Chain A
């Protein structure tokens, strides 16, 4: 489904500020894989996401989706295959537009946009159904401006907008990190439900170790631009947070440092 071969990315090459964000990363996801990603600050997790979605171009290596190389495509053309939710709740929605208008824009992901009416009666009915499944009452506020919603509500809406058109790949970059624990748990639960129901191939960066072990069928650990550990479904079932941290120290030679680290 998703293939990354020998992908590298440097920032400020040749200067004193040189940063190795990714170094010869190889990653292959099978259809339906739900992979959690952990790693210290600056390990390259966000860079990995940005290179898949086309926000940045890799310095070397290639990215393929369904066998086709997409390295040359700009971000807006890749959106046909890729759904994303950002860490910042403000980032995934248009605040001065209504919930139904936001959904209508997401509904046309990757299709051409012409002069047909954005929010029709039949679309509105289907939006309502989708919102009902979130279970937080947004279905009654279709005409409310998104700017009026709380961070958690907005993140739930972003998640729905990113997924309800069935993208081939779903990228979640710490999408619960800016929320309080209760809301973060709610969004995590909704994420798990949606991803499993729709069998979406998903990469989820998280700073919550317990969550990283509990969710998904595979776990990868990154450090200094490399994937240093790849845990399969079988091993993941019996893995504990202590084991995971121990393993990290052993391989990388230093403690896992993440300013947003949550053990569980």
Chain B
């Protein structure tokens, strides 16, 4: 057990690397109320852009920024498909995810690029510290953005489209903007993960959306969702907790690395089902209490009449 706690810096570092992706998923799923599946593709896009630029001698920080921009473009495409093309939200994301697979392959030129010989943003400093700074800056910028006029309009787009339209916001624009920021963050996460693990892989984004969702749900369950400030913090913590849970699962001898996706799916299922069951049970016990009350009251009034 102590042994396990001593090794927590690994999961925390991973949690921070993937926290950017989780924040992106939070923007689409929670704020925009748009189940965006572009994530699986745009994560790899970020890794691909960063890797190809870095291997061609571009400054790693610039390459990482370029990955962010690439993700934003992917998000804009999904947004255009949905708002201008009138394609269902889920389908828009799936279409972009598939299209991005080919695009990512074109960017990389081969399925796997090694970065072990290259200069990366982490240099000689422990990635955990650099990631802590990047994630905190990202979080605070997001919090600030969601308090601006534009940010408020974006939140209202997910909360009540009809209302914000009646006050003159173009909800197509805010939807596209939200999707682009979200996928920018996801691609950024892909870029830093590739650098930390020293390679970019064409399949690295598969299942990312479920991991992001798991992080959002776990974080919200543990830390609550009072304000945007609180929820973004919760999502980051959720990403870290998820990695700790995964690390703990690895300690179980008969589990294999490939079981990870199944474990993630189970976490998401539990997180989605438990609140529903809780609510149903609460309602039932309330109904029972109430009907006993009503029955008692009725019995009394009858007694009085007699």
Q: Give a binary string over B150-182; 1 marks a CB under 8 Å from any A CB, 0 the rest.
A: 111101100110111111111100000000000
The answer, yes or no, to whether A130 is at the interface (CB within 8 Å) is: no
Contact A76 B159 (CB under 8 A): no
Contact A84 B166 (CB under 8 A): yes
Complex Cα distance, B155 from A95, in Å, reads 11
The answer, yes or no, to whether A61 is at the interface (CB within 8 Å) is: no
Secondary structure of the B contact surface, majority rule: helix
Q: Shortest beta-carbon distance, A38 to chain B, in Å?
A: 24
Asked whether A79 and B160 contact (CB < 8 A) given A104-B152, A115-B145, A119-B147, the answer is no
Inside 8 A of B167's CB, which chain A residues have their CB? 79, 105-106, 108-110, 161
Number of A-B contacts (CB under 8 A): 83
Contact A115 B159 (CB under 8 A): no
The answer, yes or no, to whether B149 is at the interface (CB within 8 Å) is: yes
The answer, yes or no, to whether B197 is at the interface (CB within 8 Å) is: no
Contact A94 B163 (CB under 8 A): yes
Contact A75 B164 (CB under 8 A): no
The answer, yes or no, to whether A92 is at the interface (CB within 8 Å) is: yes
The answer, yes or no, to whether B148 is at the interface (CB within 8 Å) is: yes
The answer, yes or no, to whether A189 is at the interface (CB within 8 Å) is: no
Complex Cα distance, B150 from A96, in Å, reads 17
Asked whether A105 and B152 contact (CB < 8 A) given A94-B160, A97-B159, A118-B147, the answer is yes
Asked whether A108 and B149 contact (CB < 8 A) given A76-B169, A97-B156, A113-B169, the answer is yes
Complex Cα distance, B152 from A207, in Å, reads 35
Inside 8 A of A155's CB, which chain B residues have their CB? none
Interface residues on B, range: 20 to 34
Contact B149 A79 (CB under 8 A): no
Inside 8 A of B153's CB, which chain A residues have their CB? 105, 113
Contact A91 B150 (CB under 8 A): no
Contact A79 B166 (CB under 8 A): yes
Secondary structure of the A contact surface, majority rule: loop
Inside 8 A of B171's CB, which chain A residues have their CB? 76
The answer, yes or no, to whether A243 is at the interface (CB within 8 Å) is: no
Contact B168 A77 (CB under 8 A): yes
In this complex, what residue of B is CB-closest to A80? B168
Inside 8 A of A126's CB, which chain B residues have their CB? none
The answer, yes or no, to whether A191 is at the interface (CB within 8 Å) is: no
The answer, yes or no, to whether A253 is at the interface (CB within 8 Å) is: no
Contact A76 B147 (CB under 8 A): no
Complex Cα distance, B156 from A157, in Å, reads 16
Complex Cα distance, B34 from A25, in Å, reads 40
Q: Shortest beta-carbon distance, A151 to chain B, in Å?
A: 15
Residues in B136-153 with C-beta less than 8 Å from chain A:
145, 147-153
Complex Cα distance, B294 from A102, in Å, reads 40
Contact A76 B149 (CB under 8 A): no
User: What would 19 more interface pairs be, CB under 8 Å, given A86-B162, A108-B149?
Assistant: A79-B167, A80-B168, A84-B166, A90-B160, A91-B160, A91-B162, A94-B159, A104-B149, A104-B152, A105-B149, A105-B152, A105-B156, A108-B167, A110-B168, A113-B152, A115-B148, A117-B149, A118-B149, A118-B151
